[in-house]
Structure 1
Amino acid sequence: MPLTPAPRPRPDAGPRAGRFRLRPGLRPGLRLRIRPRLRRPSLVALLGASCLGGLLLAPTAGASADGGADGRGERALQRQLEELVATPGGPPGVIVVLQRDGSPRVLRAGVADLESGRPIELTDHTRIGSTAKAFSGAVALRLVQQGELSLDSTIGDTLPRLPQAWWPVTLRQLLNHTSGLPDYSEDQEFLDLLLADPRRAFDPRRLLDFVADQELRFPAGSRYQYSNSDNIAVALMAEAATHKTYEDLLRRIVYRPLGLTDTSLPLGYEMPEPYMHGYAVAPPAPPEDVSEALSASGVWASGGIISTPRDMTRFIRGYAAGELTSREILHEQRRWIRGASEPAGPGRNRAGLAIFRYDTRCGVVLGHTGNFPGYTQLIAATPDGRRSLTFSLTTQVNARLTPDLVERLRTIEENAVCALLGPRRG
């Protein structure tokens, strides 16, 4: 998709200078080739509500269930994963981790890297997309338990530099996406800057400046609307309350207590080794590796975390069970309202405080989804944390890019929940 650059900004120009304009008549969604020839839909999806994107692959010899999956549910799920990988536009690789009380069962299809052909491992790094919002929720709820924040703390109380029109918004409303904050990732000037340089290093603590001239989209608390701005504000409130960086809070409050040894929040574009390569898949073009095409600084607390299937499993088991907070705060977290994660998870979706409830035909799990160019994630666990599911794809799937594939994926995810829980009784 061709771009027409505006005149270069002056050296003293502000952060909104240097816009790039689309040529008249071009629509968002047309293909754009940017480093390394990243396609336009992948970038659009990153900057839209989902957070931050072909080749027909046959099932690979490495597609297997570790330890020999027993039970018809796991065997059927394995076949569905192989069929998903073989679908035009499907992911080059997928890994599913089912854990009950004991050791995890690992099902996988496809590969971690199309060049080497190696299978995805539990210790392969991946961009977790909006599942990072659950991490910011974990930090915030722990600080509420410690008395350093309250669910009724407002933007005006903690972040008075932000627009006065936003001051009434509470931490609770940020965590359940009823704040009404305008979404910075949909701002045209933010998009223009990222299109001009996908690896641009943003100041993550100034991301909300892109929409600081906008009013709330609706009265705070009046309705649900998923917004990447919400979790940026959550992280900023946590920093303001503790005088510690968000990255330090993640290490102290989340990583160490839950034993997450391979999880981090970088600001650059590099992926730590080993990693599952993420691909933009749009047949008939061949898949293109977009693992390191974008800087994580543009999503930060809303979607920039890198983790592994092993660490994500540890996280969701502890987070869903409330290991990082109190029973009272857990009760507040589970006040469900109408709202779906992005992309939607399996079954019926309802929103809590930085967690979603997925009511499936086989039972209830709590968790979060996420996607980022090259990656799609689901993490979920039973409310007691004793059974968990981690589902990672090496391409981006969401309603904006691939609506048909989203519905197929949701069906497979629900089948994975049933393989985890067994059929509902009674």
Structure 2
Amino acid sequence: MPLPRPSRHLRLPVGAVLAGACLAALVSAPAEADPPGPTTDRALRSQLEQLVRAPGGPPGVIAVLQRGDSRRILRAGTTDLATGRPVEPTDHMRIASTAKAFSGAVALRLVDRGALGLDDTIGRRLPALPRAWRAVTLRQLLTHTSGLPDYSRSPEFLAILQADPHHRFDSRRLLDFVAGQRLLFRPGSRYQYSNSDNIAVALMAEAVTGVRYEELLRRLVYRPLGLHDTSLPQGFEMPEPYMRGYDVPVQPPAAPEDISELIGASGVWASGGIISTPRDMTRFIRGYAGGALISRATLREQRRWVDGASEPAGPGANKAGAAIFRYTTRCGVVLGHTGNTPGYTQLIAATPDGERSLTFSLTTQVNEATKPQLLKQLREVEENFVCALLRD
């Protein structure tokens, strides 16, 4: 989930999105991807190295491409500027807004079990929330067409975070920051990405089951998919080993600053608080995008596409489904999610059958508001990786 990017003195500017020299020439985007092999891997690794060297680029990056049981790991840079240790697929990291796909997985599994309905409303399941929101449905929350105001843009929320980045929020009361506001638009009438949506999704799941969201994640997602290194904490500490996330200035001479443990997870919770590893995220997206967790009927409902892009935008043309996005590249379609938070940027994607997957992780935050040129370069590189994944 995008949060305010910290300044050089750990200040969190209210105007930053919670969300230099031209870099386009650094990446060659061929009309077609080469067949997989040593030559292709060298070209892809070169593009990762160019990302690391770019102004504001990540100190480290890792990509995991998997076809069936065959896995390729490509990386560049380091996970720790102090030691030079390479990035590993077993390193923990903040997964940012790709956590929204996890809340979608929980909700859709409950839909399959009949505990929730996609047309269930906030008014029915969460009657304590504002009456002005009561017509919003679960489907609209999952597709970011709800109109809920984004709590993470609330001046009060940002002021608390500014004063104490480690502040322990009551995760189940995050929507209180915007409880006095009306909807931004009529539910279902348009798309607008909001971190409030997935908080409400998690609260709905708790309301119908009487089980805490963290336990629902364990029962409905982690265990079925074999995720052993994934968790939703409340604090700011990172489990060892972990990728260090950095604030990297675009302009020298300021040096990168380690902000891995700058912000706690309680203030993002179901919208972006999960910590995982590239290995676990590969397992997750293969199962989630491929429909291993839900029935075909629910899968069809999830894949009703509307105009909308993930944050940051993923490779190619973006469309939004229910807690998943469709990325149409020049080489084909993959389904997945992106995310960005201080110190980290993520893409997880897989083919609609789950047989081929890509997990792409950076150790700095990249989005349209803070590093637009780098984001353009990143999306081109991601598309090249998707092409390498899809080509026979």
Residue 212 of structure 1 aligns to which amino acid in structure 2? A
Give me the whole-angstrom Cα distance separating, in 2, the residues matched to 1:133 and 1:206. 18
Aligned counterpart for 1:191 among listed residues 154, 158, 166:
158
For structure 1, the residue ranges without an aligned partner over 5 or more in a row are: 1-28, 51-68
Tell me the residue number matched to 2:32.
none
Matched, 1:380 2:349: yes
Matched, 1:143 2:110: yes
Give me the whole-angstrom Cα distance separating, in 1, the residues matched to 2:14 and 2:359. 23
Give me the whole-angstrom Cα distance separating, in 1, the residues matched to 2:59 and 2:201. 34
Matched, 1:293 2:262: yes
Matched, 1:126 2:126: no
Give the 3-state SS of the residue equivalent to 2:266 in structure 1: helix
Q: TM-score, normalised by structure 2?
A: 0.92
Asked if the contact 1:73/1:418 (under 8 Å) is kept, the reply is: no
The CA deviation at 1:32 is: 4.2
The C-alpha deviation readout for 1:346-393, integer Å capped at 9, x for no partner, is: 000000000000000000000000011000000000000000000000
Asked if the contact 1:73/1:415 (under 8 Å) is kept, the reply is: no
Give me the whole-angstrom Cα distance separating, in 2, the residues matched to 1:43 and 1:288. 21
Tell me the residue number matched to 1:92.
59
Q: TM-score, normalised by structure 1?
A: 0.85
Asked if the contact 2:11/2:162 (under 8 Å) is kept, the reply is: no
Tell me the residue number matched to 1:3.
none
Say how many residue pairs are matched.
371
Matched, 1:331 2:300: yes
For structure 2, the residue ranges without an aligned partner over 5 or more in a row are: 20-35
Tell me the residue number matched to 1:44.
16
The CA deviation at 1:73 is: 3.2
The C-alpha deviation readout for 1:291-311, integer Å capped at 9, x for no partner, is: 001111110000000000000
Aligned counterpart for 1:272 among listed residues 235, 239, 245:
239
Aligned 1:144-159 pairs, distance under 5 A: 144-159=111-126
Asked if the contact 2:12/2:161 (under 8 Å) is kept, the reply is: no
Asked if the contact 2:168/2:266 (under 8 Å) is kept, the reply is: yes
Residue 176 of structure 2 aligns to which amino acid in structure 1? D
Give the 3-state SS of the residue equivalent to 2:61 in structure 1: strand
Matched, 1:395 2:364: yes
**CA 30–413 in structure 1, closer or farther in 2 if over 3 Å, else same:** closer
Tell me the residue number matched to 1:203.
170
Tell me the residue number matched to 1:25.
none
Asked if the contact 1:382/1:388 (under 8 Å) is kept, the reply is: yes
Give the 3-state SS of the residue equivalent to 1:104 in structure 2: strand
Asked if the contact 2:98/2:337 (under 8 Å) is kept, the reply is: yes
The CA deviation at 1:43 is: 9.2
Aligned counterpart for 1:418 among listed residues 362, 383, 387:
387
Give me the whole-angstrom Cα distance separating, in 2, the residues matched to 1:43 and 1:80. 32
Aligned counterpart for 1:166 among listed residues 133, 150, 156:
133
**CA 194–31 in structure 1, closer or farther in 2 if over 3 Å, else same:** closer
The C-alpha deviation readout for 1:309-355, integer Å capped at 9, x for no partner, is: 00000000000011111000000000001000000000000000000
Give me the whole-angstrom Cα distance separating, in 1, the residues matched to 2:14 and 2:95. 15
The CA deviation at 1:102 is: 1.8
Matched, 1:175 2:147: no
**CA 259–43 in structure 1, closer or farther in 2 if over 3 Å, else same:** farther
Give the 3-state SS of the residue equivalent to 1:313 in structure 2: helix
Tell me the residue number matched to 1:245.
212
Give me the whole-angstrom Cα distance separating, in 2, the residues matched to 1:391 and 1:43. 28
Give me the whole-angstrom Cα distance separating, in 2, the residues matched to 1:398 and 1:30. 10
The C-alpha deviation readout for 1:162-209, integer Å capped at 9, x for no partner, is: 000000000000000000000000000100010000000000000000
> Highest relative contact order (Cα 8 Å, sep 6+), 1 or 2?
2
Residue 382 of structure 2 aligns to which amino acid in structure 1? E
Asked if the contact 1:276/1:394 (under 8 Å) is kept, the reply is: yes
The CA deviation at 1:75 is: 2.2
Residue 219 of structure 1 aligns to which amino acid in structure 2? R
Give the 3-state SS of the residue equivalent to 1:109 in structure 2: strand
Tell me the residue number matched to 2:271.
302
Runs of 4 or more off by more than 6 Å in structure 1? none
Give the 3-state SS of the residue equivalent to 2:287 in structure 1: helix
Give me the whole-angstrom Cα distance separating, in 2, the residues matched to 1:414 and 1:327. 28
Give me the whole-angstrom Cα distance separating, in 1, the residues matched to 2:71 and 2:127. 46
Higher Cα Rg: structure 1 or 2? 1
